[in-house]
Chain A
Amino acid sequence: MAYAYLFKYIIIGDTGVGKSCLLLQFTDKRFQPVHDLTIGVEFGARMITIDGKQIKLQIWDTAGQESFRSITRSYYRGAAGALLVYDITRRDTFNHLTTWLEDARQHSNSNMVIMLIGNKSDLESRREVKKEEGEAFAREHGLIFMETSAKTASNVEEAFINTAKEIYEKIQEGVFDINNEANGIKIGPQHAATNSSLAGGQGGQQAGGGCC
């Protein structure tokens, strides 16, 4: 399907916080109580509409274990948005946010929009991290923040879409250089055609869903 822009997202955070479940809820609108664990990286894609424009999200869902950090680090490159996820029922996943953030800042482009997500908000009785703590962390580090539940789908749609809105605004403000693919943004094929500077770019290769 035709799109105006393609944004690359990366989902990061400790293992077991629900990264793959958030992705599945966003792309397939379903929840799998026992999800396979992710080794390396998995992928998802979905079309959304912002400001009347079709935007394709290409989402990289990464493995969370510390050992895989050196691998996943290389996947930050060319991401326009990152969802940094922790589990509100496990404080250690919140405590590790600083190292995740350092990693993300160091290996991504400086304009990457980061959304902090406190997942599993449906498990209120087992909560270990207060919502205010998440908000404070986000404020301090200049992130957007939301609590979500991949199980009930609460705020999942919003988390992905608000991140895209922020990226879109940055494009409008001219913060992102959309002609530089390292920023994780590609212009859709039909738009690229009118943009001569991109004629030789990769925009066209991402067109449509293939012929099969």
Chain B
Amino acid sequence: RLTSYWMVFSMLRLTSGFTMRSGCFFARGLFSRRQREAHSAPGWKLFGKVPPRESTPKDSRTIQQEYEAKTSKAGHSPPQPTSGRRKNLQFEPLSTTALILEERPANLPAKPEEEAQRHRQEYNEMVAEAKKRELKEAQKKKQQMKERFRQEESIASAMVVWNTEILPNWDSMRSTRKVKDLWWQGLPPNVRGRVWSLAIGNDLNITAGILTLKSLWRSYVESIREFGASMADRESSLDLIKLDISRTFPSLYIFQKGGPYHDLLHSVLGAYTCYRPDVGYVQGMSFIAAVLILNLEEADAFIAFANLLNKPCQMAFFRVDHELMLKYFAAFEVFFEENLPRLFSHFKSSGLTPDLYLIDWIFTLYSKSLPLDVACRVWDVFCRDGEEFLFRTGLGMLRLYEDTLLCMDFIHVAQFLTRLPDDVSAERLFASIACTQMTSGNRKWSQVFSALMKDKEMDKSGSPCLKSS
């Protein structure tokens, strides 16, 4: 809805310049059509010295008309009759730049000089503006192409650096400034999985040798059969996994039944509930497992999955440890207020607590709420910086949309943040994250968080919504 407002708004801006000044509105196509006429037909004069576009191919008809124009000029012949114009109107539209000031038909009395002068001036302004706009657009397009090219180049060269310099010397290089900077730019897709694996580590010491997912899975299914009703809980989580897989990235059509990764996702999740029955399957896990499967081999995906979920923040959330989650939200609010005081107080007065949007973002590590390529970039730096970056990303998001959010009421903010626009660009988001400082006073995230952990009588006003339970 929001975007359409903007579209209407910008369309109005686009058209108002013409309609208001000229009194009559030409469609884009008509302008361009007339440009070519202008170069050819007599009786049409092009003001503003707009040169014909270089890209304009001259077809035979143009050439003929140019010839006609020349000859008629040479002979000082009067403007061509209307029929000539009609013929010219068959040309294809080319650009918006060339507006033509039409001379008055011969059968009408001449304009007073003053009026003609004014019209000429208005006309010149219109042409200048249209030209400016067109130039701007062309520049923008060129910039975009350049940007894309630059990105592809940098990905290619980054890939070489990762493969030949960094990965072979991982332990000594991972914390260097150079690597960290390169890391921020986004990992090239074909080293992404490996870097994630290395960064997440394997503190749990899961070895691919002992563990094959299939054997784990088989023992899991068997244990359910064996214990029957007493395993009702596990059985229901088995059903739940089945149900949720069909609802995990449904638009990709690869995890759904019959899709290439359906069984794999199923066995990663099933194996995990067997490996960690104390945690079990919790909704949100299917998204994390799916993203890992997209970037890693089967066994590596499982190892990364189990180790990732074992991190303190993920454990707190997937165990739905309420007290701990509240601490994370409270820490988030400390940095929220520090970075975006206006928005912070707007949220406060609307009764909008961070749990409403953070739960979805943190549980799925943004993979459900952001476009997948953007989410992967968030994962990249999450692997580099740890949990802090998840909350920093959240603040970056709020900063990116701050102006919009400031004019929304509770329900609109809540809807907006739980269903983010699907065109979030990685560049803009990361620029906004880069502006987000994770220091409060002199304290870093970890310090703020551990201070909150020590604070037993934590002021629960941070998340009044969760207080009652």
Contacts and interface: CB of A to CB of B under 8 A. Distances in A.
Given A39-B364, A41-B359, A205-B350, A67 B409 contact: no
A39 B465 CA distance: 16
A154 interface: no
Interface in B212-236: 236
A41 B247 contact: no
B283 A210 contact: no
A31 interface: no
Nearest to A76: B468
B240 A205 contact: no
Given A34-B256, A74-B465, A63 B407 contact: no
A68 B418 contact: no
B282 A75 contact: no
B368 A36 contact: yes
B169 interface: no
Interface in A177-212: 202, 205-212
B412 A70 contact: no
Contacts of A209: 409, 412
A37 interface: yes
Nearest to A209: B412
B135 interface: no
A35 interface: yes
A128 interface: no
Contacts of B283: 15, 37, 39, 63, 65, 67-68
B430 to A, nearest CB: 24
Contacts of A107: 468-469
A34 B2 CA distance: 25
Contact of B409 (A15, A16, A205): A205
B421 interface: no
Interface stretch (A42-50, A140-148, A164-172): A42-50
A36 B250 contact: yes
B244 interface: yes
A74 B407 contact: no
Contacts of B360: 39-40
A77 interface: yes
Interface string A60-94: 00010101101101110100000000000000100
Max chain A C-beta neighbours (<10 A), residue from B320, B322, B411, B415? B411
A206 to B, nearest CB: 6
Q: How large is the interface on A (under 10, 10 to 19, 20 to 34, 35 or more residues)?
A: 35 or more
B465 A75 contact: yes
A111 interface: no
A162 B412 CA distance: 25
Contact of A206 (B286, B322, B411): B411
Contacts of B280: 67
Nearest to B248: A37
B247 A34 contact: yes
A74 B467 contact: yes
B355 A40 contact: yes
B2 A212 contact: yes
B52 interface: no
Given A44-B415, A45-B415, A70 B409 contact: no
B128 interface: no
Contacts of A155: none
B410 interface: yes
Given A34-B247, A68-B283, A74 B466 contact: yes
B408 to A, nearest CB: 4
Interface string A122-141: 00000000000000000000
B419 interface: yes
Given A34-B250, A208-B409, A212-B408, 7 more contacts: A36-B250, A40-B357, A43-B411, A58-B410, A65-B240, A107-B469, A210-B412
Interface of A: 15-16, 34-37, 39-45, 58, 63, 65, 67-68, 70-71, 73-75, 77, 92, 107, 202, 205-212
15 contacts: A37-B283, A39-B283, A39-B284, A39-B360, A41-B356, A41-B418, A43-B411, A65-B282, A71-B359, A74-B465, A74-B466, A77-B468, A207-B409, A210-B409, A212-B404
